[in-house]
């Protein structure tokens, strides 16, 4: 996979090698991290591009109220990633440690147990959103046009929630087994399919927000089916052999494995849920500013999502490489990987932030049907704030990687909670209700990343995560002690 010519891979590798020449990170670890990280970054770019294209297409085809409606529905759709991401956080921790220890039976058990948990948790959520979409959107706004668009989008997209959760488990299984490239191929292809379907449904069939939702659902079904076939068969047409093969007929209800997934994954899910739940009060606060500000924030968050994609790659590379080292009882190497990846991630985020800041206005206007509309200047300034905040996100996300790999997932959850609910949202509210104005929103952007960055990095430096990891290491590794 490392031999495939790819501009993104070469760019990331160049940053890593430059840091190695400066003596800031180890050259070999820079190469290993790049091999694992760049496919996940491509996946993130594809997914966030899909999300951004959703908003852009809806904005062009329907207008500002529809963009706001999709924005109000997005936190509810985000529950799919809170649920699936939480379970998948347990999956990658267990899979990476078992893969490092060659404990393949336990690895398969972890994957099957994760699958059951995702289905059990996500199906009731999906059914609830299908039955009561308007009631949920109405909690966030009294703008009837936005409520109608948001409820319509939420009802349809809710059908895809279980599939989105299963996709995360499939992806983390492969990344934990040291192969992010195949996970990228599957999920990036799904994002491309999604964009194509959106174009057909929104513009070709004139389905508006329903078309955007249908494209998301169908694409997630295709990706889920691909992961299921590939992981159970151990190979896929065109792609070839996968690093793991899981027997679908094995046990799905091992109490010890389910307990480990829940104890590791619950704080990870909570951390993801913080991002999702925080959008509700944040959107309410933005509503005080007005519809243009809501639309501008939705646009800025989509661009923020694109800027944040390096963190997905570095965070998962860290979880995989650190987890494999812990599975081999090599704590010194585990910490070295964690330290180097934090530095690597921050440098990459700085490059990303500079590029986005230079072209902020040109990027923002792509999301509106009228380049002179009121949300454009607001969104541009929010993007500038996001460019500052995203550098701190590089620290927060990369420092959380070793903690996730070890099972020390409570602290990253707590740090995200503090940053969002105790600092970021209060700052936004002050902006909406005092002379602080939009500066409250700018500071809120920075606070939601700088606070978790400080806490997660402190926790990483304490080394307590190494001792916690001993609880979750595979039997093969424990027996070697």
Domain annotation covers residue 481: no
Which pLDDT tens digit goes with each residue over 252-282?
887 888 888 888 877 777 777 777 778 778 8
- On whether residue 1 sits in a domain, the answer given is no
User: What pLDDT is attached to residue 4?
Assistant: 41
In a domain, residue 234? The reply is: yes
Q: Are 169 and 86 in contact (CB under 8 A)?
A: no
Predicted pLDDT of residue 19: 93
| pLDDT computed for residue 306 by the predictor | 77
| Chain segment 282-341, per-residue pLDDT in tens | 878 888 888 788 878 878 887 887 788 787 788 878 877 887 788 778 888 888 988 999
How much is the pTM?
0.68
Q: What is the pLDDT of residue 51?
A: 64
Give yes or no for residue 2 having a pLDDT over 70.
Answer: no
Q: Per the domain annotation, does 480 fall within a domain?
A: no
User: Of 203-207, 258-262, 378-382, 429-433, which gets the smallest average pLDDT?
Assistant: 203-207
Q: Is 2 inside a domain boundary? A: no
177: exposed, middle or buried (Cβ count in 10 Å: 0-12, 13-18, 19+): buried
C-alpha neighbours within 13 Å on the C-beta side of residue 21: 6
Q: Are 30 and 340 in contact (CB under 8 A)?
A: yes
Taking only the tens place, the pLDDT of each residue in 77-102 is: 777 667 777 788 778 778 877 877 77
pLDDT at 481 (0 to 100): 46
Task: With a cut of 50, say whether residue 5 has pLDDT above it.
Answer: no
pLDDT in tens, 37-46: 877 777 767 6
Query: How many domains is the chain built from?
Result: 1
Tens digits of residue pLDDT in 170-220 = 888 887 787 777 887 888 788 888 888 888 887 878 777 788 888 888 988
Cα separations in angstroms, 18 against 23, 250, 309, 397:
9, 47, 21, 21
- Closest C-alpha among 383, 395, 397 to residue 445: 383
User: If you compute the radius of gyration of the chain from its CA atoms, what whole number of angstroms results?
Assistant: 21
- Binning pLDDT at 50, 70 and 90, where does residue 225 land? very high
- Could you tell me what percent of the chain has a pLDDT over 90? 17
Q: Average pLDDT, whole number, for the chain?
A: 82
Q: Is residue 69 part of a domain?
A: yes
Q: Write the secondary structure of the chain as one string of H (helix), E (strand) and C (coil).
A: CCCCCCHHHHHHHHHHHHHHHCCCCCHHHHHHHHHHHHHHHHHHHHHHHHHHHHHHHHHHHCCHHHHHHHHHHHHHHCHHHHHHHHHHHHHHHHHHHHHHCCCHHHHHHHHHHHHHHHHHHHHHHHHHHHHCHHHHHHCCCCCHHHHHHHHHHHHHHHHHHHHHHHHHHHHHHHHHCCCHHHHHHHHHHHHHHHHHHHHHHHHHCCCHHHHHHHHHHHHHHHHHHHHHHHHHHCEECCCEECCCCCCCCCCCCCHHHHHHHHHHHHHHHHHHHHHHHHHHHHHHHHHHHCHHHHHHHHHHHHHHHHHCHHHHHHHHHHHHHHHHHHHCCCHHHHHHHHHHHHHHHHHHHHHHHHHHHHCHHHHHHHHCCCCCCCHHHHHHHHHHHHHHHHHHHHHHHHHHHHHHHHCCCHHHHHHHHHHHHHHHHHHHHHHHHCCCCHHHHHHHHHHHHHHHHHHHHHHHHHCHHHHHHCCCCCHHHHHHC
Q: Provide the domain limits for residue 279.
A: 7-475
Residue 324 lies in a domain: yes
Quick check: is 318 in a domain?
Answer: yes
């Amino acid at each position: 996979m490392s031999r495939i010519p790819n501009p993104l891979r070469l760019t990331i590798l160049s940053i890593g090698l430059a840091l190695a020449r400066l003596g800031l990170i180890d050259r070999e670890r820079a190469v290993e991290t790049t091999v694992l990280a760049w496919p996940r970054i491509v996946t993130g770019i594809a997914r966030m591009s899909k999300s951004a294209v959703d908003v852009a297409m809806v904005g062009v085809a329907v207008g500002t109220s529809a963009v706001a409606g999709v924005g109000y529905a997005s936190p509810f759709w985000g529950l799919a990633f809170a649920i699936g991401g939480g379970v998948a956080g347990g999956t990658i921790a267990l899979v990476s440690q078992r893969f490092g220890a060659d404990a393949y039976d336990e690895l398969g058990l972890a994957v099957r147990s994760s699958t059951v948990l995702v289905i059990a948790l996500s199906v009731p959520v999906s059914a609830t959103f299908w039955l009561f979409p308007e009631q949920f959107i109405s909690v966030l706004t009294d703008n009837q046009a936005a409520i109608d668009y948001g409820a319509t989008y939420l009802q349809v997209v809710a059908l895809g929630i279980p599939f989105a959760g299963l996709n995360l488990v499939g992806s983390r299984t492969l990344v934990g087994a040291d192969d992010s490239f195949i996970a990228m191929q599957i999920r990036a292809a799904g994002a491309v399919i999604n964009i194509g379907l959106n174009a057909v449904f929104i513009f070709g069939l004139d389905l508006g927000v329903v078309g955007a939702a249908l494209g998301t659902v169908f694409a997630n079904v295709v990706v889920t089916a691909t992961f299921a076939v590939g992981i159970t068969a151990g190979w896929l047409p065109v792609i070839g052999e996968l690093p793991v093969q899981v027997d679908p007929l094995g046990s799905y209800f091992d109490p010890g494995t389910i307990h480990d997934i829940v104890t590791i994954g619950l704080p990870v899910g909570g951390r993801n849920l913080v991002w999702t739940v925080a959008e509700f009060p944040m959107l309410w606060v933005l509503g005080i500013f007005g519809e243009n500000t809501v639309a501008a924030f939705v646009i800025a968050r989509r661009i923020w999502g694109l800027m944040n994609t390096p963190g997905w790659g570095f965070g998962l590379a860290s979880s995989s490489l650190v987890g494999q080292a812990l599975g081999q009882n090599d704590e010194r190497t585990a910490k070295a990987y964690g330290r180097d990846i934090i530095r690597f991630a921050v440098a990459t985020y700085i490059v990303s932030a500079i590029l986005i800041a230079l072209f902020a206005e040109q990027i923002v206007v792509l999301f509106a049907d009228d380049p002179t509309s009121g949300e454009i200047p607001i969104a541009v300034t929010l993007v500038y704030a996001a460019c500052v905040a995203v550098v701190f996100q590089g620290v927060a996300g990369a420092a959380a990687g070793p903690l996730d790999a070890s099972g020390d997932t409570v602290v990253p959850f707590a740090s995200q909670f503090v940053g969002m609910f105790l600092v970021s949202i209060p700052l936004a509210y002050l902006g909406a209700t005092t002379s602080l104005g939009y500066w409250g929103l700018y500071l809120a952007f920075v606070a939601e990343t700088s606070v978790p960055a400080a806490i997660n990095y402190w926790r990483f430096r304490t080394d307590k995560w190494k001792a916690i990891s001993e609880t979750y290491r595979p039997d093969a590794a424990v027996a070697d002690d």
